[in-house]
Structure 1
Amino acid sequence: MASVSVDTVRIPEGFKPTTELRLSSGNGPVSRTVLKTPLRDALPSEIPIIDVSGIFSVSKDARMDVARQIRDAATNNGFFYIKNHGIPIDVPETTCEEVLKFFRQPREIKDRANISHSKYFNGYKPPKSQRINPFESVDVRETFSWTYDPRFDPSVPDPVAIPPQIARYLRCENFHWEATANLPHFQESIVRYWRSCLAVARALVRSFALSLDLPEDFFAEKFTHPDAGLALNYYPPLPAPPAPAEQGESEVSIGSHTDFQLFTILWQDNNGGLQVLNRQGQWINAKPIPGTFVVNIADYMQRITNDRYVSTVHRVQNYSGNERISMPFFFGFNLNESCGVLDSCVAEGEEKKYDEISCEEWVQRRARAMHREGETSGK
Structure 2
Amino acid sequence: MEFQVPVIDITAYVTTGDVHERRIVARRIDEAARTVGFMQIVGHGVPQTVIDGLAAAIDGFFALAPEVKQGYRTPPEINRGYSPPKSESLSLSLGVESANRMNDFFEAFNVGAAVSDYPGLELPLADYPENLWPREVPEFRALVEAYFREAGRVARTLTTAFADALELPAGYFERYTDHSLDVLRMNNYALPPGEVELDGELTGMGAHTDYGIVTVLWADQAPGLQVLGADGHWHDVRPAPDALLVNLGDLTARWTNERWLSTLHRVQPPVVDGTIERRRSAAYFHDGNIDAVIETLPSCLGDGSRYAPVTVAEHIRAKLAGSRALQPNTKAEREAARMRSARSPY
TM-score class normalised by the smaller sequence = 0.7 to 0.9
Shift of residue 219 of structure 1? 1.3
Do the aligned partners of 1:271 and 1:288 also contact (CA within 8 Å) in 2?
A: no
Q: Distance in 2 between matches of 1:218 and 1:293?
A: 24
Q: How do 1:145-184 residues align onto structure 2 when only pairs under 5 Å count?
A: 145-149=110-114, 151=116, 159-161=118-120, 163-164=121-122, 166=123, 171-174=128-131, 176-177=132-133, 180-184=134-138
Q: 1:60 — aligned with what?
A: 19
TM-score by length of 1: 0.77
Q: 1:240 to 1:273 in 2, by over 3 A?
A: farther
Q: Distance in 2 between matches of 1:150 and 1:192?
A: 19
- % identical aligned pairs: 29
- Which of 98, 101, 114 lines up with 1:135 in the alignment? 98
Q: Distance in 2 between matches of 1:260 and 1:83?
A: 23
Q: 1:26 — aligned with what?
A: none
Q: Distance in 1 between matches of 2:249 and 2:82?
A: 24
Do the aligned partners of 1:169 and 1:336 also contact (CA within 8 Å) in 2?
A: no
Shift of residue 331 of structure 1? 0.7
Shift of residue 227 of structure 1? 1.5
Q: 1:251 — aligned with what?
A: 202
Instruction: Tell me which amino acid in the other structure corresponds to 2:309.
Output: E
Q: 1:328 — aligned with what?
A: 283
Q: 1:160 to 1:373 in 2, by over 3 A?
A: closer
Instruction: Tell me which amino acid in the other structure corresponds to 1:373.
Output: P
Instruction: Tell me which amino acid in the other structure corresponds to 1:205.
Output: T
Q: How do 1:81-230 residues align onto structure 2 when only pairs under 5 Å count?
A: 81-116=40-75, 120-133=78-91, 134-136=97-99, 137-149=102-114, 151=116, 159-161=118-120, 163-164=121-122, 166=123, 171-174=128-131, 176-177=132-133, 180-230=134-184
Larger Rg: 1
Q: 1:213 to 1:98 in 2, by over 3 A?
A: same
Shift of residue 332 of structure 1? 1.8
Question: What SS does the corresponding residue of 2:161 show, helix, strand or coil?
Answer: helix
Question: What SS does the corresponding residue of 2:308 show, helix, strand or coil?
Answer: coil
Q: 1:167 to 1:58 in 2, by over 3 A?
A: farther
Range with greater deviation from structure 2 (194-203 or 60-69) = 60-69
Question: How big is the alpha-carbon RMSD for the aligned residues of Structure 1 and Structure 2?
Answer: 2.4
Instruction: Tell me which amino acid in the other structure corresponds to 2:289.
Output: N
Q: 1:30 — aligned with what?
A: none
Residues 232-280 of structure 1 show CA distances to partners (whole Å, capped at 9, x for unaligned) of: 00002697967xxxxxx51111001111111111000121211001000
Residues 99-126 of structure 1 show CA distances to partners (whole Å, capped at 9, x for unaligned) of: 112111111111221224x983311111
Q: Distance in 2 between matches of 1:216 and 1:144?
A: 35
Instruction: Tell me which amino acid in the other structure corresponds to 2:181.
Output: D
Q: How do 1:253-292 residues align onto structure 2 when only pairs under 5 Å count?
A: 253-292=204-243
Shift of residue 369 of structure 1? 5.2
Q: 1:363 — aligned with what?
A: 316
Do the aligned partners of 1:272 and 1:288 also contact (CA within 8 Å) in 2?
A: no
Do the aligned partners of 1:252 and 1:316 also contact (CA within 8 Å) in 2?
A: yes
Do the aligned partners of 2:50 and 2:143 also contact (CA within 8 Å) in 1?
A: yes
Range with greater deviation from structure 2 (187-196 or 87-96) = 87-96
- Which of 319, 323, 326 lines up with 2:271 in the alignment? 319
Shift of residue 58 of structure 1? 4.4
Shift of residue 287 of structure 1? 1.1
Question: What SS does the corresponding residue of 1:213 show, helix, strand or coil?
Answer: coil
Do the aligned partners of 1:115 and 1:124 also contact (CA within 8 Å) in 2?
A: yes
Question: What SS does the corresponding residue of 1:188 show, helix, strand or coil?
Answer: helix
Do the aligned partners of 1:207 and 1:216 also contact (CA within 8 Å) in 2?
A: no
Instruction: Tell me which amino acid in the other structure corresponds to 1:55.
Output: Y
1:354 aligns with 2:307: yes
Instruction: Tell me which amino acid in the other structure corresponds to 1:173.
Output: E
Q: Distance in 1 between matches of 2:29 and 2:174?
A: 19
Do the aligned partners of 1:336 and 1:358 also contact (CA within 8 Å) in 2?
A: yes
Instruction: Tell me which amino acid in the other structure corresponds to 1:343.
Output: P
Instruction: Tell me which amino acid in the other structure corresponds to 2:285.
Output: F
Q: Distance in 2 between matches of 1:93 and 1:363?
A: 30
Instruction: Tell me which amino acid in the other structure corresponds to 1:303.
Output: R
Query: What stretches of structure 1 of length at least 5 have no aligned partner?
Result: 1-41, 153-158, 243-248
Q: How do 1:34-73 residues align onto structure 2 when only pairs under 5 Å count?
A: 43=2, 46-56=4-14, 57-73=16-32
Query: What stretches of structure 2 of length at least 5 have no aligned partner?
Result: 92-96, 331-346
Shift of residue 149 of structure 1? 2.5
Q: How many residues align?
A: 313
Q: Distance in 2 between matches of 1:356 and 1:212?
A: 19
Shift of residue 46 of structure 1? 2.7
Q: Distance in 1 between matches of 2:320 and 2:136?
A: 32
Residues 145-204 of structure 1 show CA distances to partners (whole Å, capped at 9, x for unaligned) of: 11212656xxxxxx323x33x466752425x11xx1121110111111111000111111
Q: 1:210 to 1:374 in 2, by over 3 A?
A: closer
